[in-house]
């Protein structure tokens, strides 16, 4: 029974490690999205402050950047959505593995108690 408990604890650690990895990946994508949005806000604020178009505006770079930004945000958010789905799935698996570990711990403890009771009965 102890070997089964060790195996279930190992499975739990693998599940939690995988979950942490997915969460880190999603956070990295969220940070990329935030950086892109912040850059767009800063550019818009810069244009508002200057009140006149600059060379990039005249060259059409702002419009091309806007299209590029929307495309990249769509890709990043699609990737994030997939990761969030994977995170939810992994959370379910982690909860199941945790429950299995706790159940096996309880069984092992109960088994140990039963062994002590039997040992005391044999002594008498």
Question: What domain range is 71 assigned to?
Answer: 2-52+59-123
Q: Structure pTM?
A: 0.77
Q: How many domains does the chain have?
A: 1
Residue 81 tokens, joined: 């959505």
pLDDT (tens digit, 9 = 90+) per residue, 42-84? 988 888 788 777 777 778 888 899 999 999 999 999 999 999 9
């Amino acid at each position: 029974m102890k070997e089964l408990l060790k195996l279930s604890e190992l499975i739990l650690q693998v599940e939690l490690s995988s979950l942490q990895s997915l969460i880190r990946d999603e956070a990295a994508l969220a940070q990329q999205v935030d950086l892109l949005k912040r850059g767009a806000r800063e550019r818009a604020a810069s244009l508002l402050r200057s009140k006149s178009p600059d060379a990039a505006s005249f060259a059409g770079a702002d419009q091309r950047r806007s299209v590029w930004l929307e495309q990249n945000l769509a890709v990043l958010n699609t990737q994030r959505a997939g990761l969030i789905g994977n995170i939810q799935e992994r959370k379910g698996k982690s909860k199941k593995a945790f429950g299995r570990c706790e159940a096996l711990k309880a069984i092992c403890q109960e088994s140990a108690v039963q062994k002590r009771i039997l040992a005391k009965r044999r002594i008498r």
